C-alpha cells in the first residue's frame, strides 16, 4: 500500500476490455431445479414478480479475495483485478436471469465495501488522502479502506447486527461533496451490454449520513443530517445519469429505518425523498428496509412518500411488520416481500412462505406482491454445489445464495399459479427430515444441562479487585503489562501444513512437530521483544470459531461456505444444526506445550459462546439463547481443564458480543442479560488466582459498557485505535472501570506501522481516564492477517512505548 499511494491508478469504475469467463453459479441441491444451461443473448422480463436485494460479491471460490490480495501485493495489474471483477458480475447477473428473476440488482458488487463506494460516489474523501478531485481511482479508494505508509485507514465497524464490516464515512460542516465515482452507471451499462436489464442499488441518503461519524476535530454534537441538502444534489446527478443510461428502476437501501429514529430524523427522511421527487420522475423507486421490523412511526413515514413505487420489508426477522401492512398499505404500490432468509443457510419452508404471500395477496392484491429475499444475500455463503464435506442429509436441509435465488423464483412461480408440486413435496420432506432427525436433539442437554443454567447467575464468588490482587501476587507483572490478542501471522507454509494434515498427507507426529516449531518461533520473538504475557500464536487454528466448532458436537463445516467479513477478509461460519456438547478437551494439549516453552505467563486462548453463536449459521428451530447456553457449558469444561493443566491466564474472546445486539432498544436488555450470563458461565468455577481475559473489537461498545462491566472479566482488551479512541470517551463521562483494561494502541488491519512516539501518546491519553494499575498495552486485534516484518516492527514500537511511559510513571 505504500507504493499504491504514490501511483495514479485508473478510475474505480473503469471497465476491462475482454473479461474471461467464469462458470455460472449452480442452483443445486438436487431437489431444486437447475437454472438453464442455455445463455440467451437478451433476457425478457418474466411475468411473475421476483427480486433479489443483493448478492455475494466474493465469488464461489473467493475469486475476488485472491485477486485483491494479489493486486495489493503488486503481483498482478489493475486490468487483472478488473477482469476478475467483471467476470464475477457477469456470472451473478446471468445466474439470476437464467433462474427467472425479474428484478436483478446491479451496483451491489464492491471491491471493498458498499458504504465506501458511496463515499467515493459523493466525493467525501478525508483530506489526509490527498485527493485533488476527478474520478476516484483505486489508489485513493484502497488508501481509505486500508491506510498506506503515511496515513491511517478510515474507521471500520459492524454493519448493523451482522458480521460484515463497513468503512465509516468521516463528515464535517466543511466537506465538499461532488459526483466522483460513476460506478453505479458503469455497472448498469455493463449489464445492459450483456442483455440484462438491472435494478441499480444505492445506499440511501439517510442510511449513509446516520451511519457516518463527525470527522476528527469536528464537535461530536455535530448533526450529520445537517448535510442532507449538500449530498442530495449528487444523488440527483447520479439519478440523471442512470436515467440517461436507460434505467427504469432504482433501489434505495434504507435499513436505518428499522432503528429507533426520532421525529426529526423521520421528518428529514421524508423531506429528502420529497426533495428528490423531480429527479425521480420517470423512474420506478424501491425503498428497501431489512434486518428487523420497521417501527410504526417509520412505517408511517415510508407510506407517506408519493415518489415511491414499492417498499421492501424483511419478513423473516420482521414479522411484526405484517401487522402494519394489514392496517395500512397504500393502493397501487408494490410490496417487495422478503420471505427468503438472506442471513442464514437453511432451506426455505416453501409452503410456509407461500402462506405468507397469500396473506399479503388478500391485503394488497396478487399483482402487487413481489417475492424477494429478506436482505442482501451478501450475508450467506455463495453456492451449495461446491460443498463436498457435507453429508447428503445435512446438505438437503440447506440453501446458499445460488439456491436462494432459485427458491425466490419457485415461490414467485407458485404464487402466480404455476406451482411445481414435485418441488414443494420434496421441500416438505426435507423440512420433516430435519425436524425428526436424531442428530438434532440430545435429550440430556435439553433437559438437564440447559435447565441447570437457569438456576444460577454464575458469578465468581469474589470481587474483581480482590481477584486482581491475588493474580498479581502470582503473576508479578509490571505496570502497563504488554500482551497481544492471540493470533500471529498465518503464513502460506502454515496453511499448507494444516491442509496436508487434514488430507492425511503427513503424519500426526510430523504435524505436531511443525506446530511446535512455530510455537517456539513465536515465543522466542515475544521474549526478545519483551512482551509480558505471551500467546502461542494459534498456528494450529484455521479460524477462531471453526477450530472450536470442529471439536464440538452439533456443528457441521463446509469446504467453500465463505462469507465476506470486510474487504478481502472472508470467514467460513460453522453450521450449528443440533444440540452442543464437548466430547473431549480442545486446547489443553497445545496450551500446555506452549506454557512449557517459557517462564512467562502463557494465555490459554478460547473463543466465547456468544461469539461462536454470532459467527455461526445458527439453527432456527429453538431460541438462540438456549443454543448459546449449550456452547457456554462446553467452554466452561475447557476453561476448568486448562486451569487444572496449570494455565493461569485464560482469554475467552467475545469479539462479537456487541454484534448480536438487537437493533431495537426494546429488545436489547433481554439479549444483553443472556449474553453476559453465557460468558459468566464459562469461568464461574475458576480460582481467584486464575486471570480471565476477554477481547472485543470493531463495534461501538460505549452504549453497552455497563453490560461489559457485568461480564466480570479480570481483564478486557478492546479495539480502540482504528475507531479514533472513541472508547475512551465513555471514561471521560465518568464510567468507573476497576478491572484490567487494554484499549488497543494500534490498528492491525492496516499495513501502516505506528512509531513508538505515536503509541506513547495514545497510552498517555488512556492514562488521563484510566488508572495505571489497571491499564494494559496491546494491539487492537489479532495479528493473523499481517506479515512478520510488520508484526516485529509494530510490537517492538509498542513495547518501547510501554517501557517509556512505565519509566515516566516510576519517576513521578
Query: What's the pLDDT tens digit per position in 293-333?
Result: 999 999 999 999 999 999 999 999 998 999 999 999 999 99
Side-chain half-sphere CA neighbours of 710 within 13 A? 15
Task: Say yes or no to pLDDT of 13 above 70.
Answer: no
Task: Say yes or no to pLDDT of 631 above 90.
Answer: yes
752-768 per-position pLDDT tens digit: 899 999 999 999 999 98
Q: How confident is the model at residue 722 (pLDDT cuts 50, 70, 90)?
A: low
CA distances 122 to 230, 237, 649, Å, are: 10, 10, 48
Q: Output the pLDDT for position 28.
A: 43
Give the SS3 label for residue 618: strand
Q: Output the pLDDT for position 811.
A: 87
Query: From CA 634, how far away is CA 607, in angstroms rounded?
Result: 11
Q: How confident is the model at residue 727 (pLDDT cuts 50, 70, 90)?
A: low
Percentage of the chain exceeding pLDDT 70? 92
Query: From CA 424, how far away is CA 426, in angstroms rounded?
Result: 5
Closest CA to 97 of 12, 197, 230, 185: 197
Query: How many of the other CB atoms lie within 10 Å of CB of 116?
Result: 25
- Average pLDDT (20-44) is 40
Give the SS3 label for residue 160: coil
Closest CA to 92 of 165, 161, 19: 19
Q: How would you class 143 by CB atoms within 10 Å of its CB: exposed for 0-12, middle for 13-18, buried for 19 or more?
A: buried
Query: For the chain, what is the mean pLDDT?
Result: 91
Query: From CA 313, how far away is CA 532, in angstroms rounded?
Result: 51
Give the SS3 label for residue 701: coil
Q: How confident is the model at residue 453 (pLDDT cuts 50, 70, 90)?
A: confident
Closest CA to 163 of 570, 664, 606, 544: 570
CA distances 272 to 57, 66, 305, 584, Å, are: 30, 40, 10, 58
Query: How many of the other CB atoms lie within 10 Å of CB of 794?
Result: 24
For residues 44 and 525, which has the higher predicted lDDT (pLDDT)?
Answer: 525
Quote the DSSP letter at residue 347.
Answer: P
Q: How confident is the model at residue 35 (pLDDT cuts 50, 70, 90)?
A: very low
DSSP string, 550-609: TTSTTEE--SS--EEEETTEEE---EE-S-----S-SSHHHHHHHHTT-SS-BEEEEE-H
For the ranges 388-392, 551-555, 722-726, 805-809, the lowest mean pLDDT is seen at 722-726
CA distances 96 to 162, 401, 443, Å, are: 24, 11, 42
CA distances 782 to 168, 598, 748, 791, Å, are: 21, 21, 7, 10
Closest CA to 232 of 272, 195, 282, 266: 272
Q: Output the pLDDT for position 785.
A: 86
Q: Output the pLDDT for position 729.
A: 73
Task: Say yes or no to pLDDT of 21 above 80.
Answer: no
- Block residue for cell numbers 440511501: 204
Task: Say yes or no to pLDDT of 44 above 50.
Answer: no
Contact residues for 743 (Cβ-Cβ < 8 A; gap 6+): 717, 718, 719, 720, 721, 725, 727, 728, 766, 770
**Which cell numbers hold the place of 694?**
476477554
- Block residue for cell numbers 431445479: 33
Cβ atoms of 782 and 513 closer than 8 Å: no
- Average pLDDT (738-760) is 91
Contact residues for 61 (Cβ-Cβ < 8 A; gap 6+): 386, 560
Q: Output the pLDDT for position 45.
A: 37
Task: Say yes or no to pLDDT of 38 above 80.
Answer: no
β-pair partners for 66:
none
- Average pLDDT (439-465) is 82
First and final C-alpha spacing in the chain: 41
Q: Is the pTM of this model over 0.85?
A: yes
Q: How confident is the model at residue 732 (pLDDT cuts 50, 70, 90)?
A: low
Q: Phi and psi at residue 330, in whole multiples of 5°?
A: -65, 135
Q: Output the pLDDT for position 488.
A: 95
Task: Say yes or no to pLDDT of 36 above 50.
Answer: no
**Which cell numbers hold the place of 652?**
475467552
Contact residues for 275 (Cβ-Cβ < 8 A; gap 6+): 229, 232
Contact residues for 424 (Cβ-Cβ < 8 A; gap 6+): 350, 351, 414
Q: Output the pLDDT for position 5.
A: 34
Q: Output the pLDDT for position 4.
A: 34
Task: Say yes or no to pLDDT of 731 above 90.
Answer: no
**Which cell numbers hold the place of 457?**
447467575
CA distances 310 to 104, 283, 321, Å, are: 15, 11, 15
Q: Output the pLDDT for position 34.
A: 38
Task: Say yes or no to pLDDT of 86 above 60.
Answer: yes
Q: Output the pLDDT for position 699.
A: 61
Q: How confident is the model at residue 41 (pLDDT cuts 50, 70, 90)?
A: very low
Q: Output the pLDDT for position 701.
A: 72
Contact residues for 418 (Cβ-Cβ < 8 A; gap 6+): 48
- Residues noted as catalytic: 749
Dihedral sign from CA coordinates of 548, 549, 553, 558: negative
Give the SS3 label for residue 339: strand
CA distances 519 to 360, 522, 596, Å, are: 59, 5, 11
Task: Say yes or no to pLDDT of 290 above 60.
Answer: yes
Give the SS3 label for residue 787: coil
DSSP string, 714-734: SEEEE--TTTTTTTHHHHHTT
Q: How confident is the model at residue 726 (pLDDT cuts 50, 70, 90)?
A: low
- Average pLDDT (117-122) is 98
Q: Output the pLDDT for position 804.
A: 97
Task: Say yes or no to pLDDT of 128 above 80.
Answer: yes
For the ranges 47-56, 252-261, 287-296, the lowest mean pLDDT is seen at 47-56
Q: Output the pLDDT for position 27.
A: 44
Quote the DSSP letter at residue 328.
Answer: -
Q: How confident is the model at residue 505 (pLDDT cuts 50, 70, 90)?
A: very high
Query: How many of the other CB atoms lie within 10 Å of CB of 278?
Result: 11
For residues 703 and 684, which has the higher predicted lDDT (pLDDT)?
Answer: 684
158-173 per-position pLDDT tens digit: 899 999 999 999 999 9
Q: Output the pLDDT for position 24.
A: 47
Amino acid at each position: 500500500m505504500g507504493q499504491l499511494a504514490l501511483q495514479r491508478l485508473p478510475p474505480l469504475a473503469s471497465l476491462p476490455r475482454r473479461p474471461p469467463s467464469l462458470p455460472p453459479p449452480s442452483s443445486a441441491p438436487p431437489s431444486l431445479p437447475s437454472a438453464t444451461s442455455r445463455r440467451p443473448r437478451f433476457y425478457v422480463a418474466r411475468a411473475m414478480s421476483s427480486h433479489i436485494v443483493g448478492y455475494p460479491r466474493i465469488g464461489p471460490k473467493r475469486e475476488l479475495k485472491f485477486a485483491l490480495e494479489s493486486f495489493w501485493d503488486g503481483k498482478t495489474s489493475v486490468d487483472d483485478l478488473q477482469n476478475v471483477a467483471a467476470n464475477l458480475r457477469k456470472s451473478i447477473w446471468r445466474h439470476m436471469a437464467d433462474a427467472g428473476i425479474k428484478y436483478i440488482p446491479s451496483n451491489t458488487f464492491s471491491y471493498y465495501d458498499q458504504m465506501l463506494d458511496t463515499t467515493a460516489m459523493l466525493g467525501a474523501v478525508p483530506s489526509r488522502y490527498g485527493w485533488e478531485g476527478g474520478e476516484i481511482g483505486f489508489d485513493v479508494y484502497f488508501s481509505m479502506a486500508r491506510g498506506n505508509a503515511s496515513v491511517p485507514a478510515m474507521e471500520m465497524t459492524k454493519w448493523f447486527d451482522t458480521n460484515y464490516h463497513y468503512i465509516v464515512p468521516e463528515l464535517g460542516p466543511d466537506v465538499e461533496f461532488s459526483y466522483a465515482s460513476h460506478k453505479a452507471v458503469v455497472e448498469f451499462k455493463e449489464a445492459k451490454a450483456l442483455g440484462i436489464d438491472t435494478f441499480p442499488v444505492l445506499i440511501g441518503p439517510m442510511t449513509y449520513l446516520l451511519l457516518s461519524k463527525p470527522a476528527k476535530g469536528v464537535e461530536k454534537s455535530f448533526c450529520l443530517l445537517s448535510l442532507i441538502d449538500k449530498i442530495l444534489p449528487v444523488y440527483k446527478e447520479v439519478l440523471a445519469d442512470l436515467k440517461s443510461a436507460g434505467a427504469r428502476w432504482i433501489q434505495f437501501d434504507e435499513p436505518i429505518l428499522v432503528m429507533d429514529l426520532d421525529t426529526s430524523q423521520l421528518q428529514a427522511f421524508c423531506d429528502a425523498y420529497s426533495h428528490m421527487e423531480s429527479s425521480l420522475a420517470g423512474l420506478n423507486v424501491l425503498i428497501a428496509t431489512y434486518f428487523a421490523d420497521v417501527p410504526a412511526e417509520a412505517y408511517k413515514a415510508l407510506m407517506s412518500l408519493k415518489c415511491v413505487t414499492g417498499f421492501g420489508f424483511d419478513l423473516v426477522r420482521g414479522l411484526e411488520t405484517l401487522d402494519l401492512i394489514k392496517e395500512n398499505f397504500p393502493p397501487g404500490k408494490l410490496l417487495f416481500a422478503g420471505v427468503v432468509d438472506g442471513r442464514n443457510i437453511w432451506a426455505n419452508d416453501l409452503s410456509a412462505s407461500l402462506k405468507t404471500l397469500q396473506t399479503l395477496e388478500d391485503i394488497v392484491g396478487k399483482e402487487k406482491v413481489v417475492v424477494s429475499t429478506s436482505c442482501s444475500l451478501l450475508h450467506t455463503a455463495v453456492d451449495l454445489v461446491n460443498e463436498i464435506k457435507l453429508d447428503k442429509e445435512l446438505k438437503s436441509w440447506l440453501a446458499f445464495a445460488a439456491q436462494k435465488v432459485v427458491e425466490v423464483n419457485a415461490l414467485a412461480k407458485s404464487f402466480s399459479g404455476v406451482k411445481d408440486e414435485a418441488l414443494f413435496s420434496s421441500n416438505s420432506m426435507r423440512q420433516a427430515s430435519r425436524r425428526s432427525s436424531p442428530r438434532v436433539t440430545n435429550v440430556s442437554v435439553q433437559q438437564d444441562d440447559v435447565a441447570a443454567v437457569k438456576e444460577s447467575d454464575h458469578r465468581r464468588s469474589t470481587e474483581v479487585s480482590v481477584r486482581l490482587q491475588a493474580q498479581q501476587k502470582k503473576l508479578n507483572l509490571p505496570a502497563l503489562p504488554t500482551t497481544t490478542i492471540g493470533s500471529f501471522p498465518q503464513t502460506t507454509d502454515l496453511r499448507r501444513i494444516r491442509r496436508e494434515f487434514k488430507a492425511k498427507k503427513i503424519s500426526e507426529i510430523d504435524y505436531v512437530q511443525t506446530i511446535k516449531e512455530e510455537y517456539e518461533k513465536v515465543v522466542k520473538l515475544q521474549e526478545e521483544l519483551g512482551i509480558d504475557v505471551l500467546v502461542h500464536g494459534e498456528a494450529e487454528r484455521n479460524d477462531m470459531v471453526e477450530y472450536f466448532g470442529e471439536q464440538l458436537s452439533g456443528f457441521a463445516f463446509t469446504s467453500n461456505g465463505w462469507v465476506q467479513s470486510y474487504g478481502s477478509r472472508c470467514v467460513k461460519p460453522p453450521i450449528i444444526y443440533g444440540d452442543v456438547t464437548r466430547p473431549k478437551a480442545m486446547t489443553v494439549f497445545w496450551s500446555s506445550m506452549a506454557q512449557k516453552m517459557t517462564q512467562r505467563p502463557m494465555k490459554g486462548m478460547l473463543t466465547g459462546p456468544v461469539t461462536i453463536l454470532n459467527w455461526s449459521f445458527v439453527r432456527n428451530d429453538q431460541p438462540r439463547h438456549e443454543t448459546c447456553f449449550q456452547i457456554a457449558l462446553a467452554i466452561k469444561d475447557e476453561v476448568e481443564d486448562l486451569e487444572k493443566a496449570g494455565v493461569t491466564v485464560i482469554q475467552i474472546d467475545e469479539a462479537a458480543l456487541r454484534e448480536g445486539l438487537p437493533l431495537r432498544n426494546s429488545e436489547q436488555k433481554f439479549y444483553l442479560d443472556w449474553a453476559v450470563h453465557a460468558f459468566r458461565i464459562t469461568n464461574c468455577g475458576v480460582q481467584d488466582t486464575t486471570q480471565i481475559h476477554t477481547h472485543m473489537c470493531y463495534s461501538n461498545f460505549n452504549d453497552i459498557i455497563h453490560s461489559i462491566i457485568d461480564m466480570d472479566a479480570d481483564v478486557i482488551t478492546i479495539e480502540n485505535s482504528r475507531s479514533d479512541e472513541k472508547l475512551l470517551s465513555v471514561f471521560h463521562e465518568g464510567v468507573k472501570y476497576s478491572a484490567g483494561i487494554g484499549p488497543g494502541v494500534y490498528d492491525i488491519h492496516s499495513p501502516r506501522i505506528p512509531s513508538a512516539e505515536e503509541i506513547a501518546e495514545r497510552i498517555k491519553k488512556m492514562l488521563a481516564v484510566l488508572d495505571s494499575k489497571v491499564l494494559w498495552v496491546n494491539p487492537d486485534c489479532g495479528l493473523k492477517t499481517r506479515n512478520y516484518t510488520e508484526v516485529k516492527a509494530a510490537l517492538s514500537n509498542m513495547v518501547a512505548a510501554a517501557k517509556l511511559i512505565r519509566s515516566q510513571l516510576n519517576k513521578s
